Structure 1
Amino acid sequence: MNAEAFRLRAPRAADPAGAAAEEGTAAAAAAAAATVAAAAAATVAAAAAAAATVAAAAEAAADNGGIDVRLLAYNRNPTNYHLPPQQQQQQQQQQQEEQQQQRAQQQQEKSQLKRQQEKQQNHLSMQQQGQKQHLQQQQQQQGPQQHPPPQQQQQQEQQQQEQQQQQHQQQQ
């Protein structure tokens, strides 16, 4: 073996430049291996830090009302994450409650509008009754001989029709 080792070393001694190149290549390979090892160590350290962050978030969530850590993941990437069934049900219930509240508010507004229209209609009908009574009193005071001229009667009828149309439009 010594002879064989001597024979392998002999060319190096004869060619110092080749020996230096081989040593440089070996050193470069060792440096590359060290770089890869350092990168792997950094990756492992980053993964450990991420795990520690998630664990800390889980503890904080447990302290702050039991928020599921999966919500944190959902907030980061909502398109690729599905909520658990229980939380889906909670969201659906909240949406249904909001819809019911909106419907109730709309119905309340409709009923208020209807009451206002009824009040206006009652007010207009009372005005019409008052006008009729006033005309009747005038006719009684002036006597039976006077009938309103056809023009005046037509004007009164037109006014009544216009008021009725206005009432009808307000109701709609």
Structure 2
Amino acid sequence: MAFSRPPRAPSSASSSRRSSARTSGASAAHGQRSTNGTSSPRASKSAWRRHGTALPSWTDLEHTNARRYAPKSGEAFLEQVPTWKFALVVILLAASFTGYVWHVNATQQLLADVQQAEAENQSLHIQYNYLQGERARQTGPSVIYERARALGLEETVAFGPSIPREALSDR
């Protein structure tokens, strides 16, 4: 199934258009405007003709008013950029800056929270060491011996006689 138009009989108007398209150079062959301001016959949808292929190219299918032309070298850079692209870049820059400021504030808040947690941890360590010392004082051997004497218990040697050091060094 081919999508090409049947050849038309040449008329004087269409042949003059073709000859002007041939003389206008490579830009007219691609559907751009020639130097004299006229567009080539291949640029309009009604007059495209492909030789050798059955399908048109993308440039043949697009409307001539929708084509983008090469920017003029005399134009300023911002005049060449479409408004929507410029607005998109401005919005992206604003969003990036807002994200950066948010990130810095979140990092500072996190640092303050970490420093507060470190101070609380140090305070808890000091309290733990104090309570551990208090417990050691309450359950130390001297306290246990005093309480045992208060209950009427007597201290006895349950393990046998002590062995002097001299006896161990002779062996």
Determine if the TM-score, normalized by the shorter chain, exceeds 0.5.
Answer: no
* TM-score, L = length of structure 1: 0.38
Give 1 or 2: higher helix fraction. 1
